[in-house]
Amino acid sequence: MSVRIAKSAGFCFGVSRAVELVEQAAAAGKQVVTLGPIIHNHHVVDKFKALGVGVITAPEEAAPGQSVIIRSHGVSRDVMERLEGRGVEIIDATCPFVKRIHSLVSRAEDEGRLPVIIGTPTHPEVEGIAGWCSRCRVFESPQELEKWALSGDVSDDVTICMVSQTTSTESLWKTCVQFAKKQFTNPKIFDTICRATEYRQSEAAELSQSCQAMVVVGDPSSSNTGRLAMICREHCSKVFLVDNAGELRAEDFDSVTDVGITAGASTPAWIIKEVNKTMSEITNTETVMEENFAELLEQSIKTLNTGDKVMGTVTGIGNTEVQVDLGTKHAGYIPYDEVSTDPSVKPEDILKVGDEIEVFVVRVNDQEGTVQLSKKKLDGLKVWDDMAQWVEDKTTVEGTVTEENKGGLVANVKGIRVFIPASQSGIAKGGDMSAMVGQTVQMKITEVNRARRRVIGSIRAVSSESRKAAQEKIWAEIENGKKYHGVVKSLTSYGAFVDIGGVDGMVHVSELSWNRIKTPADVVKVGDEIDVYVISFDPEKHKISLGYKTTEMNPWNQFMTNYSVGDVVDAKIVKLMTFGAFAEILPGVDGLIHISQIADRRIGKPEDVLSEGQQVQVKITDVDAENKRISLSIRALLEGDGEDAE
């Protein structure tokens, strides 16, 4: 037989912090009372009672000079104000996660939103949350939420802010969220379930699936303990909720080979230890403890200081922050803008629950029991070390251009600001550097001054290196007739220079088009991507002659492919002569209409009937392929019309 204990069994950090605050106040000789039982566990309450710690049920019971401790569930604004008027010292042990919900509902009301709380209306935590706004609605189930929303009592223009009791179940919360998103316009929804609770519940579910019996340890009045028992019963037929080891009965575990133990967040370590010991005696196995509670206790009281580098475990990814368990009494959190040096990265893209990460301590608030952390700052410190190495190794790195300034460009490389002088931008003098903003570029880091936090980079160094490698490749493989896809870099009166991948070649004006052109600009412009082929090259002089016009582009070949004698085509009169008129059939292909073929009568000169630019229909009467001459006739069409009329 085996006995297994859930790693998450026992105090959560919020409860642990509250208990510690009571112990510290009592040890300091203060007259201590708690407003309500400090936690849902009568064993702990009795222990404190023996130390002289009393329990009051209302602020009015507090006497001047007393130290009143607010339990981790928190209280309403009204209760806090009533306490302040009693002349007492207030020690606020409200769980930081609960404190955040107080702020959310208060701010929501200021924004004109109706706070909607998913939780048990009579639970002290929920009562406290509701007390931080003048009006709100509380629903224990998705069905209650739906019934209210569809009752007709809710106006169409109502906007809600929805939060959850920290110990609510994930499945219940998700169902409520799905409905709220469909039913309400622009709802603000905050997932305020404590991830420590979620982890505890998921671990209980997993453990109960593999064990024949489950023991849930905790005070029956504890909400989260009750939920643990409920979750375990979904997967295991034998579930025993016990307050202490004395409630265990050997006969309940006959024929059971695997037993799992979990405990609520209000269950102290010593009770779990006793249950484990008794369970081991019943099952005749060695005492098994998954956690060394002495070590945990020692770890929980260790101090944290700003600037520390510490290891932690991701316990939750919320809407605005990542929650991290540092193994101390503090609630660790990383604001979203401190997760990554890349502002476009989402926390869930690089982190998941259960990940162990190293973080930088930004701020410690012992009073509230929170510690603000940063992953970005620690990553940034490591990047500075990397930067120095990149300079030495001449490493090519990637960055995003974020802005243009007077002297050049600024890029973001792993969260570090890198200045790229205009001369190193790769943009020609006078060029538009603003077009680079937003682009991801390759660069070399050329200078790092950590003390002044100054980094210089060069895009040009990478492009020069790449261009040199490309040039060597082209000259090693070039041959006549080889085709390249290039970019037109510049134009002159005699041709166009084309970059074919690091090397410029020239296309002479005569090689740009089969037609007669005045300038290269009639065919191409700077920036055009064109296909060219090598006509000749000289490696010693680094000169390459390129061709652009191809046989397929030859207008005469196009004419011979698509037209034949007898075809009737549309043509444009391009030149008038004494002996006839030349008409363009295709750009670059003209045919002659002899003066005798212009009309069905004798005419003195072609311009008596035709004019330059006139569109006419002609018939192809002869093609001299060898001399590339075409004979055309308008008369043949006119005589044909006359025959049809007869």
**Six-digit token string for 272:** 């779990």
The angle, 0 to 180 degrees and rounded to 10, between the axes of the packed helices 13-27 and 42-50 is 10
Quote the strand ranges of 509-614, DSSP E: 529-538, 543-547, 568-577, 580-586, 589-594
CA angle 269, 270, 274 (to 5 degrees): 120
CA nearest neighbour of 150 among 184, 108, 187: 184
Query: Do residues 544 and 478 touch, judged by C-beta distance below 8 A?
Result: yes
**CA 26 to CA 50: how far, in whole Å?**
11
Rounded to 5 degrees, φ, ψ at 354 are: 105, -15
CA angle 93, 96, 99 (to 5 degrees): 90
Buried/exposed code over 118-135 (b: 16+ C-beta within 10 A; e: otherwise)? bbbeebbbbbbbbbbbee
Q: How many other C-beta atoms can be found within 10 angstroms of the C-beta atom of residue 260?
A: 26
175: which residues sit within 8 A by CB, 6+ positions away?
Answer: 142
Q: Which residue has the tokens 């005749």?
A: 284
CA distances from residue 632 to 420, 595, 622, 636 in whole angstroms, order as listed: 66, 11, 7, 9
Total residue length of the chain: 646
Rounded to 5 degrees, φ, ψ at 631 are: -105, 135
Select which of 89, 125, 291, 584 is catalytic. Answer: 125
Query: Do residues 563 and 602 touch, judged by C-beta distance below 8 A?
Result: no
Which residue(s) pair with 241 in the sheet? 216
> What DSSP designation does 62 have?
P
**Six-digit token string for 283:** 């099952």
**CA 11 to CA 72: how far, in whole Å?**
12
**CA 617 to CA 633: how far, in whole Å?**
9
**CA 33 to CA 45: how far, in whole Å?**
11
**CA 398 to CA 614: how far, in whole Å?**
60
Element (H, E) at 233: helix 223-233
Q: Which amino acid is at 428?
A: A
Q: Is 318 helix (H, G, I), strand (E, B) or coil?
A: coil
**CA 566 to CA 591: how far, in whole Å?**
14
DSSP string, 587-638: TTEEEEEEGGGS-SS--S-GGGT--TT-EEEEEEEEEETTTTEEEEESHHHH
Instruction: Give the strand order in the sheet containing 32-35.
Output: 54-56, 32-35, 67-70, 89-92
CA angle 465, 467, 472 (to 5 degrees): 100
Identify whether 281 is a catalytic site residue: no
Q: Is 256 helix (H, G, I), strand (E, B) or coil?
A: coil
**CA 98 to CA 100: how far, in whole Å?**
5
Quote the strand ranges of 243-289, DSSP E: 258-263
Catalytic residues: 125
